[in-house]
Amino acid sequence: MTNKTPIKNFYKIDVYLVLCHTVLLALSFALWKIYPHIQTKPDMSGLFFMIISVLGGIIGLIVLAVSLPRLDRTLRHPILYKLFFAFIYWISSSVILVCVGISKFFFNNPLVLIVFIVIFFSSLYLSIIRVADMRKKDWLILIGILAAFIVIFFLPKL
């Protein structure tokens, strides 16, 4: 009976995060259905959503590559399950990004980028990074890689 307790505590946050993602998916879908953006001319918003989703997925894979090996290996297949949950969080965050981004209130608004970042990366932090045994060197690697992506993304703007 004591062997089941760590497993329940290990995946408890994932149950809450899946529930939160489900509620956010329903709310964003309702926002899109109730207040749709009526397209008057062709635009490039689909390309914007695709680029943001793919870049977020790449950064998420880098975060997973650094943090997944630091998970507790006494449990059965934690890396596989956490990778599966991270994939679910990425897909649902991308769908939320698209549904919120094509609503009347957020169309062509860069705030949808912040919505994606907050939902996806907070889910990764709460699910994986918080329970991983991260060393100082791992944090420096993560900060360096994320800073490099930010510099590469915003350097052409300067």
Tens digits of per-residue pLDDT, 39-79? Answer: 777 777 778 888 888 888 888 888 888 888 888 777 677 78
Give the residue among 15, 137, 151 at the shortest CA–CA distance from 67: 137
Asked whether residue 123 is assigned to any structural domain, the reply reads: yes
Examine residue 48 and state whether it is found in any structural domain, yes or no: yes
At 7, is the pLDDT very low, low, confident or very high (cuts 50, 70, 90)?
low
Is 140 domain-assigned? Answer: yes
Is residue 57 assigned to a domain? yes
Domain that holds residue 81: 4-34+44-157
Q: At what angle do helices 111-124 and 45-67 cross, to 10 degrees?
A: 20
What's the distance, Cα to Cα, between the start and end of the chain in Å? 59
- Cβ–Cβ < 8 Å for 67, 138: yes
pLDDT in tens, 105-151: 888 777 888 888 889 988 988 888 888 888 888 888 888 888 887 78
- Whether 39 maps to a domain, the answer reads no
Given this model, what pLDDT does residue 1 score? 45
